Amino acid sequence: MKFSVMVNEGPYTHQASDSAYQFIRAALSAGHEIFRVFFYHDGVNNGTRLTTPPQDDRHIVNRWSELASEHDLDLVVCVAAAQRRGIVDPDEAKRNSKDGDNIAPGFRISGLGQLIEAGIESDRLLVFGD
């Protein structure tokens, strides 16, 4: 089965990110395909490389980056939600005259069309968080 996942909550404010991550790991282990993971609303905060949790805590952003690298996952951060929260890739930083970017490895910024495509191309679109 081909899944896409939408994450609507930040990495440390709600269980949605952890639950989505665990679901994807389990789905991949069971032989399913993940078409795309789309981060929306506060979920875009999963894609900032500036997250620095305490050493004894899990590093959720790094988990996503590592999972994307291991399984060639498409991690998409909504451009409008990201801009509102100060998350930019090099192109957005340049376009908006920012002095740097903060997108985490494995993530990319794009629009809602990527979410629509994920819903069309997948057997199921699962939503984690409000």
Residue 2's nearest CA partner among 40, 39, 28 is 28
The arithmetic mean of pLDDT across residues 76-100, rounded, is 95
The catalytic residue among 7, 24, 78, 115 is: 78
Q: Model-level pTM?
A: 0.96
**Can you tell me the distance from the alpha carbon of 69 to that of 112, in angstroms, rounded to the nearest whole number?**
23
**HEC-encoded secondary structure of 87-118:** CCCHHHHHHCCCCCCCECCCEEEECCHHHHHH
| Neighbour tally for 81: CB within 10 Å | 19
User: Is position 109 annotated as part of the catalytic site?
Assistant: no
- Give 15-27 pLDDT, tens digit per residue: 999 999 999 999 9
How does the average pLDDT of the chain come out, rounded?
A: 97
What is the CATH code of the structural domain delimited by 2-128? Answer: 3.40.1260.10
- Where do the structural domains in the chain lie, given as residue ranges? 2-128
